[in-house]
Amino acid sequence: MVVPLGQAFAGVEPFIKEAPEKLPNTPDVVIKRVELERRGGVSRLLIDFIPYAPGTLSFPALEFPSAGAAPLTLSGLEVTVASILTQSNMTLSEPAPLLAVPGTSFLIYGTVIVILVILFAGIGGSLWGRRHFRELWERFRRRHLLRVMANFLRRMEQEGDLKEGKPDFYLSILSGEFREFLSLFTGVNCRSLTAEEFLDLPLGYTVAGDAVDCALIDQNAFKWSEESLLTPVFLYRLFRTWDTLRFSGRGVDKIDLFQALKATENFIIALDKAEREKPFSKPVREAAPLVEGTAGGEL
């Protein structure tokens, strides 16, 4: 029970009494604890009690020592206690609805609105971003693949075993990694393509090398110009040379391995340069339909 106190109790120092034997009690009310607190100049009395009967119960008078004056007495306190065991007695009041608590409706509806706004913003942002940033994301993905492949070639060139032997083993690794790179870069599964099937591989670049005639496939694949590197003809010539070295039975020399590394490195450098210089495509808008009119102006 919380009892506000007036100015008459301003001289009473805050205290706490918890000894039941020092607190007055009645047969129907047992006081367990009494506390006087003062906050912001306002005093109030907190009474913890145990009721043993329903109905309107009266508290015994409480005395408070006052500095330099007679003790102050607080009497006439009453409390109404309802019983939940006997229906004939007073019933407890119904609990207040959740939305009746101040600020609850604002919190619930505000939270729902914020969640819906975030949800719709996320859906709209994903749809808008997928359309506007698809090309930018694709460029980042390709640049990452180019860096990974360039680092792989650099590590192979620095391998000490390249100078000690096993060039056929390293050429097989190079062929497999290069096919894996082309598969991820172009979106076409190049892992099991034959050399002839690379003639149909779309690289997506319009350069002078695209006009290279297939009659040039017999020239040295390691001395092609930068433009002609970015052509399916170059890839055909490259993989045909590697397959000949690996499966002809004559073996792979160290010079063949280093030439293969150099040719692949030149291709990656040319591809990286072309990727940097490739312009962004502009969004295509649908043209308005043309409507023909008659000489009299009627449509």
Choose from 179-193, 204-218, 284-298 the range with maximum mean pLDDT: 179-193
Mark whether 140 and 260 lie in a shared domain: yes
Per-residue pLDDT band at 89 (split at 50, 70, 90)? low
Cβ-proximal residues to 68 (8 Å cutoff; 6+ apart), any chain: 11
What are the tokens at 54? 């329903």
Residue 43 domain-assigned (yes or no): yes
Q: What confidence score (pLDDT) does residue 295 get?
A: 40
Cβ-proximal residues to 69 (8 Å cutoff; 6+ apart), any chain: 11
Nearest Cα neighbor of 231 from 209, 259, 258, 261 is 209
Mark whether 170 and 86 lie in a shared domain: no
Residue 155 domain-assigned (yes or no): yes
Nearest Cα neighbor of 261 from 241, 276, 275, 279 is 241
Mark whether 44 and 55 lie in a shared domain: yes
Mark whether 172 and 195 lie in a shared domain: yes
Nearest Cα neighbor of 221 from 240, 207, 202 is 240
Q: What confidence score (pLDDT) does residue 285 get?
A: 47
Report the C-alpha gap between 210 and 234 in whole angstroms: 10
Residue 290 domain-assigned (yes or no): no
Mark whether 119 and 140 lie in a shared domain: no
Angle at alpha carbon of residue 285, lines to 284 and 286, rounded to 5°: 120
pLDDT higher than 70, residue 224: no
Burial grade of 29 (CB within 10 A; 0-12, 13-18, 19 or more): buried
Q: What confidence score (pLDDT) does residue 57 get?
A: 86
Report the C-alpha gap between 26 and 81 in whole angstroms: 15
Q: How many folded domains does the chain comprise?
A: 3
What DSSP character marks residue 201?
-
Mark whether 145 and 268 lie in a shared domain: yes
Residue 283 domain-assigned (yes or no): no
What are the tokens at 64? 């408070």
Mark whether 82 and 105 lie in a shared domain: no
The percent helix, strand, coil of the chain (3-state, each to 5) is 50, 15, 35
Please identify which residue in the block is written with the tokens 């694709």: 138
pTM over 0.75: no
Choose from 43-57, 70-84, 200-214, 223-237 the range with maximum mean pLDDT: 43-57
What DSSP character marks residue 68?
T
Mark whether 114 and 141 lie in a shared domain: no
Mark whether 159 and 269 lie in a shared domain: yes
Task: Render pLDDT for 228-266 as a digit per residue (tens, 0 to 9).
Answer: 678 888 888 888 888 888 887 777 788 888 888 888 888
Residue 266 domain-assigned (yes or no): yes
Read off φ and ψ for residue 132, nearest 5 degrees. -95, -25
Residue 295 domain-assigned (yes or no): no
What are the tokens at 199? 């003639």
Mark whether 192 and 221 lie in a shared domain: yes
Report the C-alpha gap between 179 and 135 in whole angstroms: 23
3-class DSSP assignment, residue 42: strand
Residue 169 domain-assigned (yes or no): yes
Per-residue pLDDT band at 93 (split at 50, 70, 90)? low
Report the C-alpha gap between 127 and 201 in whole angstroms: 31
What are the tokens at 121? 């913003």
Burial grade of 172 (CB within 10 A; 0-12, 13-18, 19 or more): middle
Ordered alpha helix ranges (H), 133-225: 134-158, 167-186
Mark whether 166 and 271 lie in a shared domain: yes
Task: Render pLDDT for 209-219 as a digit per residue (tens, 0 to 9).
Answer: 344 444 444 44
Residue 294 domain-assigned (yes or no): no
CB atoms within 10 A of CB 249: 5
Using an 8 Å Cβ cutoff, are 199 and 232 in contact? yes
Cβ-proximal residues to 239 (8 Å cutoff; 6+ apart), any chain: 175, 193, 194, 195, 198
Q: Which domain holds residue 118?
A: 100-131
Mark whether 124 and 144 lie in a shared domain: no
